[in-house]
């Protein structure tokens, strides 16, 4: 049996690849494994059958035999550890690649999410317009640090790894904001990630089911 992941029945982003199943699809494509997708509605995500897989009622999940995982960090790490292609063999290089996965999820993604979600959550408050530039600055600060580390390198630490896969996935969320324009090396890094054939396959697969408006649920 091939592993099965879950994804939105129809992503609210209409196929822009921003829902987190895309990074899992990308990891599976990088290691060249077949997989199946079970699409779930927002309603089904909160039902006991899905909650048994994902205690927070979200996507994506990953099932392989009697193993069920949630959290994209854990899922991508699991895939990378079981198949060659996403983690270096050298133990120290491997540990550093995993460090970059954590950095993407714990250090770079949170300020990006705060910036992205604030307009949805408190966009009607009079102080929201003052808050957004402050949140932009928090993102800018992290991007400046990441940009300084990357410099003219192709990837974060030697060859492409699960750390890059996660960092590019996180940075993709900035595509609708102007901030990335300030960091040409990060923009080019993102473009390199998106150009990878495995990413292209993952993106195309999610686009196939997500293009168009999401159904009312
Ligand atoms: N930390 C978890 C992980 O990394 O796996 C976060 C999982 C998560 O946030 N899942 C979201 C979800 O299931 C989908 S990806 N949300 C439904 C819910 O909580 O009820 C987040 C997401 C959703 C939609 C867009 N979009 O439309 O642009 C982008 C990202």
The verdict on 103 and 163 lying in the same domain is: yes
* Mutation test residue for ligand 1: of 59, 109, 176, the one with most atoms within 8 Å of CB: 59
pLDDT confidence bin for 213, thresholds 50/70/90: low
- In our burial notation (b when 16+ CB lie closer than 10 A, e otherwise), range 53-87 reads bbeeebbbbbbbeeeebbbbbebbbbbbeeeebbb
Domain that holds residue 80: 4-85+198-210
State pTM to two decimals: 0.96
Separation of CA 11 and ligand 1 centre (Å): 9
pLDDT confidence bin for 214, thresholds 50/70/90: low
The mean predicted confidence, pLDDT, of the chain is 96
Q: Which residue's CA is the closest to the ligand 1 atom numbered 22?
A: 19
The verdict on 46 and 97 lying in the same domain is: no
For the stretch 153-194, pLDDT in tens is 999 999 999 999 999 999 999 988 899 999 999 999 999 999
Instruction: Identify whether 215 is part of a domain.
Output: no
Residues in contact with ligand 1 by the CB-under-6-Å rule are 11-13, 18-20, 45, 57-59, 71-72
The verdict on 192 and 95 lying in the same domain is: yes
What pLDDT is stored for residue 29 in this prediction? 98
Q: Which residue's CA is the closest to the ligand 1 atom numbered 28?
A: 13
* Residue 205's CATH number: 3.40.30.10
């Amino acid at each position: 049996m091939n592993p099965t992941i879950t994804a939105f029945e129809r992503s609210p982003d209409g196929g822009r690849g921003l829902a987190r199943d895309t990074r899992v699809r990308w990891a599976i494509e990088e290691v060249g494994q077949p997989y199946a997708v079970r699409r779930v509605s927002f309603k089904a995500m909160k039902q006991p059958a899905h909650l048994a897989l994902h205690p927070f009622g979200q996507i994506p999940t990953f099932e392989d035999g009697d193993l069920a995982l949630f959290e994209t960090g854990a899922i991508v790490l699991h895939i990378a550890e079981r198949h060659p292609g996403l983690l270096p063999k050298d133990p120290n290089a491997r540990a550093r690649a995993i460090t970059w996965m954590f950095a993407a999820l714990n250090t770079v993604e949170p300020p990006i999410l705060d910036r992205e979600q604030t307009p949805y959550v408190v966009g009607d408050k009079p102080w929201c317009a003052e808050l957004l530039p402050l949140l932009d600055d928090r993102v800018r600060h992290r991007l400046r640090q990441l940009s300084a580390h990357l410099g003219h390198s192709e990837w974060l630490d030697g060859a492409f790894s699960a750390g890059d896969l996660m960092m590019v996935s996180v940075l993709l969320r900035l595509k609708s904001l102007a901030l990335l324009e300030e960091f040409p090396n990060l923009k080019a890094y993102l473009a390199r990630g998106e150009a990878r054939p495995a990413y292209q396959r993952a993106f195309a697969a999610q686009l196939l089911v997500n293009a168009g408006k999401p159904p009312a649920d």
